[in-house]
Chains A and B, each alone.
Chain A
Amino acid sequence: MARPTGSMIRSYADDLRLFPTAAKRIGLVVLLAAYLLVPYLINDTWASVLSLAGVVAIGAIGLNLLTGYTGQPSLGTAAFIGLGAFVAGYYGGGRFADGIGYDFNLFVYLLIAIVAGGAVGVLIGLPALRLRGNYLVIVTLGLVFVALYVWKKWTTFTGGNEGSAMPVKADLNLGFWSIDFLKPTVFGKELGSKQGLMYLAWGFVIVTALLVKNIVRTRPGRALQAVRDRDVAAEVVGVSLFRYKVSAFAISSAIAALAGVLYGLYLGYLTPDETSLGLVLSIQFLAVIVVGGIGTIYGSVLGALFVGALPTLIREFVPDNWNLPILGWPIVTSDASATGFSKGALATIIYALLIIVFLVFEPRGLAGIWRRIQAYFRTWPFSY
């Protein structure tokens, strides 16, 4: 008796299935096992790289909902990251020792950040209703600078130019079980803060990925994609532009604020300036979704692993002074007056080149490459 193969879609229910094939279900189990085990096994350097990648993946999934699925390009991510981080600093007890703010536990300040991010997202989404493409990019560009100004001036909330310490604990107490993600004890072994952050960040990657996947594979998601493809046509067939554009902004901004809280926990201390919360941070998130694949969720995660971890990888693994083999050209130098790139400059150049190269040669990103590999093996030996 012949059985249909997994990739055959015969009904709407088939189309909706999250994990249609056995291979995907096995993959899910492997990934979950990796989620539980990897932080337990790796050293601090890799934990630092991977926890940052997790934080970036969360923000990228949110941005992908807005840019990839709804077609609203946004440079405003840095503003929401900043919002989330400063909410964590103020409500999570970062400056409680100085008598400022509150000392709530993890899920309270996460909730405050998500609600605040969503509310500001609605505020941004309302004017964005009248704007498309080009104009929206410029408005969200303005948002980054306005937000930076607000962070610098709103001293009670952000610490002004000096910046704000971030919470020293990310604790959760359920009565029968409690954990502090910055000082976790797993299987009786005490882990470092970056390992704990890995559990927290990748846990939220799973949550946000499921949330966004569930949005985009059902009716609201099809409405969002209709808005992306031709907004006037979408409106004609009964999609409320107001409702879907504003919700996309709200959800995406709330997710970005959530990523901001984790980013704050990762950094430990945040000053509002051009280098930490400026335009470049926003561009990095765009780079992640472009390299990963616009309009795919696993692409955002791949992109985050690939480029989100780049600055940390360069900082940790590229030697301070490195010349090109054979030719001997100085590539990396720690001496500011010598020839050669600083590590920060090198990371920025790689970002920029990745954006350009991927958009020109592989607009579907890593997800597109992965799909081609899958198609090759599925149709083997008749693949071409």
Chain B
Amino acid sequence: MTKFFSLLADGVALGAVYALVALGFVVIFRATGVINFAQGGLVIFGAFLVYQAQNTWDWFGGGSTWPGFIASALFAIVCVAAIGAAFESLVLRRMIGQPIFAIILITIGLFLLVEPITTTIWHNPPGGIETPWGTQTVSVGDVNILQVNIATVVLGALVMGGFFLLFQYTKVGVGMRATAVDQEAALAQGISVRRIFALSWAIAGAVAVVAGMMLAGGAGPAPGLSVSLGLIALRAFPAIILGGLDSPVGAVVGGLIIGVAEVMAKGYIPDLIPALGPEFGDIVPYLIMLLVLLVRPFGLFGTPEVRRV
């Protein structure tokens, strides 16, 4: 049972990260109708910028102190949010009205750009992101839980709570929901749809940085900095498919289910069916996604698509 609970803790933490990445997807999809393949790229870029502030510039004594950690995180959040908004307004704005496929391909192009650029600038640094909690653990009963897992879940919950408040109670949030329902009607009500589009990308960028930090920090799910962070972020796709493309709640639930399922598969499959090996866990999210798509193509919480001629 101990193994089960420690795996569960890991799984929930990984799920929280998936949920964060998935939230970024959902925010952009709801507002602009674009599936953003570059979200993984923003995750990578955010993690590397945090590293830059912590290790190269050594702000406030690096990432193991609270001021250094927070300052570096804020720096990366601002930068990546600006990059996201700039990409939207400079490139994607010109693509409005083009086929969805073309827009998806453009975001794939952006994703492709991130890997060579980060490896060229940072050369696969040996260390990871430093965090105030490092590799310390907390004992609950006879289960040791990594502090980073707790921090990930808490931070994830904070960000998601912030999302809820933003969507539900602020003018901007209402504007985003209105844009998601009908762009022209939103325009007619005096909402600047352009600003909402850019803002969606900025928010997605900011969330991606938090996800990247938690992924690559200390003893997180993928300690160490490398471009494979982007591949991990791609596994948030199954999460949004499971939850439904346009549902923030779905993103969170889907992320948690996928995260727990992946970690459980990695923990138990090698013992139960040795032939499948631990790498099987890496494809479990995609297998779940396939099953879900066959049964409910619009996900658990998504809006069924109405097709008109």
Q: Taking beta carbons and an 8 Å cutoff, which residues of A are in contact with B?
A: 67, 71, 73, 127, 130-131, 133-135, 137-139, 141-143, 145-146, 149, 152-153, 230-233, 236, 274, 279-280, 283, 286, 290, 336-337, 339-342, 344-346, 348-349, 351-353, 355-356, 359-360, 363
A127–B294 contact, CB under 8 A?
Answer: yes
- The B interface, classified by DSSP as helix, strand, loop or mixed, is helix
Residues of chain A within 8 A (CB-CB) of B115 are 345, 348
Residue of B nearest to A345 (CB): B116
Is A359 within 8 A of B110, CB to CB? no
Picked from A138, A349, A355, the residue with its CB within 8 Å of the CB of B117 is: A349
Whether A145 touches B282, Cβ cut-off 8 Å, given contacts A137-B104, A360-B94, is yes
Q: Which residue of chain A has the shortest Cβ distance to B103 in the bound complex?
A: A359
In the complex, what residue of chain B is closest to A71 when comparing beta carbons? B101
A230 to B293 alpha-carbon distance, docked (Å): 21
Whether B112 and A340, one on each chain, are in contact in the complex, defined by CB atoms closer than 8 angstroms, is no
> Across the interface, do B290 and A139 meet the contact criterion of CB distance under 8 Å?
yes
Check if A127 sits within 8 Å of B113, measured CB to CB: no
By secondary structure, the A interface counts as: helix
16 A-B residue pairings within 8 Å (CB atoms): A73-B101, A134-B35, A135-B293, A138-B237, A142-B238, A142-B290, A283-B108, A290-B102, A348-B116, A349-B112, A356-B106, A356-B109, A359-B98, A359-B105, A359-B106, A360-B106
Size category of the B interface is 35 or more
Bound Cα distance A128, B112 (Å): 25
Task: Please encode chain B, from 72 to 112, with 1 for each CB lying within 8 Å of some chain A CB and 0 for all others.
Answer: 00000000000000000001001100101110111011101
A134-B100, A360-B94 known; A286-B116 Cβ under 8 A: no
Residues of chain B lying within 8 A (CB to CB) of residue A230 = 309
- Among B101, B115, B241, the one with the most A-chain Cβ atoms within 10 Å of its Cβ is B101
Residue of A nearest to B124 (CB): A336
Q: A355-B106, A359-B109 are in contact. List 15 more A-B contacts (CB 8 A).
A: A73-B104, A130-B294, A133-B101, A139-B293, A143-B286, A145-B286, A290-B102, A339-B120, A342-B116, A345-B119, A353-B109, A356-B91, A356-B110, A359-B98, A360-B94
B232 smallest CB distance to A (angstroms): 11
Q: Which residues of A contact B110 (CB under 8 A)?
A: 352, 356
With beta carbons under 8 angstroms apart, the residue of B95, B112, B123, B277 that contacts A337 is: B123
Give the CA-CA distance A1 to B100 in the complex, in Å.
51
- Assess whether B123 is in contact with A336, with CB atoms less than 8 Å apart: yes
Contact A360 B105 (CB under 8 A): no
Q: Contact at B35–A286, with CB atoms within 8 Å?
A: no
B245 touches A134 (CB 8 A): yes
Q: A67–B101 contact, CB under 8 A?
A: yes
A163 smallest CB distance to B (angstroms)? 16
Give how many A-B residue pairs fall within 8 Å (CB-CB): 130
Bound CA span A138–B105, Å: 12
Interface positions of B (Cβ within 8 A of A)? 35, 37, 91, 94-95, 98, 100-102, 104-106, 108-110, 112-113, 115-117, 119-120, 123, 228, 231, 234, 237-238, 241, 245, 275-277, 279-280, 282-283, 286-287, 289-290, 293-294, 297, 307-309
Contact A134 B104 (CB under 8 A): yes
Complex: A360 Cα to B287 Cα, angstroms: 34
Distance in angstroms between the alpha carbons of A286 and B307 in the assembled complex: 27
The interface residues of chain B lying within 8 Å CB-to-CB of A138 are 35, 237-238, 241, 289
Q: Is A283 a contact of B100 with CB atoms below 8 Å? A: no
> Nearest-CB distance from B291 to chain A (Å)?
10
A352–B37 Cα distance when bound, in Å, is: 13
Complex alpha-carbon distance, A146 and B5, angstroms = 28
Which residue, A67, A337, A345, has most C-beta atoms of chain B within 10 A?
A: A345
Taking the nearest CB of chain A, how far is it from the CB of B146, in angstroms?
Answer: 27
Contact B289 A139 (CB under 8 A): yes
With CB as the reference atom, state the residue of chain A lying closest to B112. Answer: A352
A339 to B121 alpha-carbon distance, docked (Å)? 7
Q: Which residues of B contact A133 (CB under 8 A)?
A: 100-101
Q: How far is the CA of A337 from the CA of B121 in the complex (A)?
A: 9
- Chain B residue at minimal CB-CB distance from A147: B283
Question: What is the CA–CA distance of A339 and B283 in the complex, to the nearest angstrom?
Answer: 36
- A352 pairs with B113, CB closer than 8 A: yes
Q: A340-B120, A355-B108 are in contact. Are A149 and B293 (CB under 8 A)?
A: no
Closest 3 CB pairs of A and B: A345-B116, A142-B286, A355-B109
Closest to A144 in B: B286
- What is the bound-complex CA distance between A64 and B80, given in angstroms? 35
Kindly provide the distance from the CB of B119 to the nearest chain A CB, expressed in whole angstroms: 6
A263 to chain B, nearest CB (A): 20
CB distance from A173 to the nearest CB of B (A): 40
Give CA–CA (A340, B283) in the complex, Å. Answer: 35
- Expressed in whole angstroms, the minimum distance between the Cβ of B289 and any Cβ of chain A is 6
